[in-house]
Amino acid sequence: MPVKYRKQAQKAVDQYQGTAWLLYAFAVLFFIPVLVKLISGDFFNMLLSAAAFVGMLIVAFWMSLGLKNKRQAIKDKRIFKQQVPMMFLSACTLGVVNGLAAWFLTGYGLFASIGLGAAASLGAMLWYGLDHVVPKSFSEIDDDEQKQVLINAEQAVINIRSSISQFSNAELTGHLQRIASTTQDILGHLTAHPKKINKAQRFLHHYLTATESVISRYGQTHDKVENKKLEQNFKQVLQNIESVFKKQHHKLIEQDVFDLDVDIEVLNTLLEKQGIK
């Protein structure tokens, strides 16, 4: 299958999996009483049924949004940014809507209605799961400036991963994936050892950002102009960046320091050639 159509097919699958279609189908059941009450002329109960139907649509929309956020967070290997817990909020709202509907519309007692609402919430949590959770190690970092360094670096990794879809060359995408994975390993190590963040700040703030810029700019322009020499130069740049990042990762772990001398000069030269410096 050609790359273009393979990506479109995968996008369609992702959209389907990221939609709480079961909750949307369940919401239809709440629309039937609206029609019945309207036909019978019971306008008060019709309004209550309509409110329950709208509540179910909101529940389904929030769950779909939560599924999308969770899938994207896992895909980006996001560990620093916590999304609004839409899946948890949706499950709780589902319980409230079902509980109130059981009490006001079907004549169940208070405790029975509460039980039905709690069962609906629990069922949604078991079926769909809960939101992506931030590891405790990040929350234990007290220095706001250090947190911001990691957040900015993580966003750069997310941007690099996002740019991979712009390339059809397997060799290029391989380099990009390894650069992103190595950087993610660096960030994970720094999250577990916050005292090392200051030593890595220059590398993360300047060189990771510059690398992200090179990749993003090439990704936006490479398909507009077919230039084999430019592509070959870009491959060489990625190979060297990958090598430098791996060395920095090993030195961070083994020597407890970031060696920002020889390797960084190599990266400086590469970035200068790309017009970043």
Q: Flag whether pLDDT at 4 surpasses 80.
A: no
Q: Flag whether pLDDT at 242 surpasses 70.
A: yes
Mean pLDDT of 247-262: 66
pLDDT at 3: 39
Domain boundary among 69, 93, 128: 128
> What's the pLDDT tens digit per position in 180-199?
999 988 888 888 888 888 87
Domain boundary among 93, 128, 163: 128
**Residue type (1 letter), 155:** Q
> Do 234 and 180 belong to one domain?
yes
How many structural domains compose the chain?
2
> Do 142 and 268 belong to one domain?
yes
- Range of 114-123, 136-145, 164-173, 223-232 with top mean pLDDT: 114-123
- Give 52's pLDDT tier (boundaries 50, 70, 90): very high
> Do 148 and 227 belong to one domain?
yes
Mean pLDDT of 231-256: 81
> Do 63 and 90 belong to one domain?
yes
> What's the pLDDT tens digit per position in 80-123?
555 678 999 999 999 999 999 999 988 899 999 999 999 999 99
Q: Flag whether pLDDT at 14 surpasses 50.
A: no
The C-alpha atoms of residue 187 and residue 237 are separated, in whole angstroms, by 22
Which residue has 């190979």 as its token pair? Answer: 239
> Do 84 and 149 belong to one domain?
no
> Do 148 and 253 belong to one domain?
yes
pLDDT at 79: 57
> Do 97 and 67 belong to one domain?
yes
- Determine the structural domain holding residue 179 and report its residue range: 136-273
Rounded to two decimals, what is the model's pTM? 0.56
**Contacts by 212-220, CB closer than 8 A, 24 or more apart:** 212/156, 212/159, 212/160, 213/276, 214/271, 214/274, 214/276, 215/160, 215/163, 215/176, 216/159, 216/160, 216/163, 217/274, 219/163, 219/166, 219/167, 220/166
> Do 145 and 265 belong to one domain?
yes
pLDDT at 268: 60
Q: Choose the weakest-confidence range: 12-21, 58-67, 101-110.
A: 12-21
pLDDT at 263: 54
> Do 114 and 162 belong to one domain?
no
- Give 11's pLDDT tier (boundaries 50, 70, 90): very low
> Do 223 and 245 belong to one domain?
yes
Domain boundary among 109, 128, 147: 128
Residues sharing a CB contact under 8 Å with residue 196, sequence separation 6 or more, in sequence order: 189, 190, 252, 256, 258
